[in-house]
Amino acid sequence: MTQAVVGVVVALLSEAKALGLRCPQPGVNELGGLRIQVSGIGDQAAAAAATALADAGCVALLSFGTAGALDAALEPGDVVCPSSVVYMDGHTVEPDSAWRARLAAHCADAGIALIDGRLLTTRQTLLNAGIKYLARTQSQAVAVDQESSAVGDVAKARGLPFLVVRAIVDDAEATLPNAVVDGVDAYGRPKAVSMIGGLLKAPWEIAKLPGLARSFNAAQASLKAVTQVAPAFAFYS
């Protein structure tokens, strides 16, 4: 690597597009001052991606993408930049406070509010309001994803600054259609046969798709906005 760059772990190809990549691919992608690793969904994939970025000489690690809301006050498109990330077993990792403050200042100047609080990382998607309520009660987290704690653990082990930027897709009351969850691969690419089969088994889930699409578009727009106002996510002061 010829210059110091920020390493970014994203699970989904769609999340990588929000960073400005036109045709992202699974694995490593380069864009300006960022080295982006599209890991696929889950903490093990994220840990491997973060390790690869650290091995490549990245000076900091960012977990970037979408999340589900646990706090009922959060809406699709809200951006969470947590001050603490926790696993369900209770162990936590702390993002870099100075880096977070710089990003928050850049975003505030552009009228973008970053929501503080705790982010929960789980190993499975939280599909409905009841499960989210239990997770919120146990963790006191405002939102949930499946990768950030793993990225944070690698950053801590390597002595690298760490940050999380996550935009909300599903609110705390939303139920995610099984046909959608099971109908995409680890990178978020549709598996047509599985998705169609799932909708045929549960045709009532079709009515949820337009709302889910709107929520996803709101999250993507927010991620793009943060990316545009803060080059390299304001890592460099």
CATH at residue 20 = 3.40.50.1580
123 falls within a domain: yes
- Average pLDDT score over the chain: 90
Which of the residue ranges 44-53, 90-99, 178-187 would you say has the lowest mean pLDDT?
178-187
- The total number of structural domains in the chain stands at 1
164 falls within a domain: yes
pLDDT band (50, 70, 90) for residue 130: very high
- Residue 92 pLDDT > 50, yes or no? yes
> What whole-number percentage of the chain has pLDDT above 70?
90
> What whole-number percentage of the chain has pLDDT above 90?
74
Domain with 219 in it = 6-234
d(CA 82, CA 74): 13
d(CA 83, CA 94): 6
Instruction: Say which residue the tokens 């491997």 belong to.
Output: 48
Instruction: Quote the pLDDT of residue 1.
Output: 44
158 falls within a domain: yes
- Partnered with residue 28 across adjacent β-strands are 37
Instruction: Quote the pLDDT of residue 192.
Output: 67
Instruction: Quote the pLDDT of residue 120.
Output: 97
- Does residue 80 contact residue 114 with C-beta atoms inside 8 Å? yes
pLDDT band (50, 70, 90) for residue 4: low
- Partnered with residue 69 across adjacent β-strands are 143
Instruction: Quote the pLDDT of residue 2.
Output: 47
1 falls within a domain: no
d(CA 94, CA 64): 15
- Does residue 126 contact residue 170 with C-beta atoms inside 8 Å? no
Average pLDDT over residues 63-83: 97
pLDDT band (50, 70, 90) for residue 175: confident
27 falls within a domain: yes
User: Which tens digit of pLDDT belongs to each residue from 94-120?
Assistant: 999 999 999 999 999 999 999 999 999
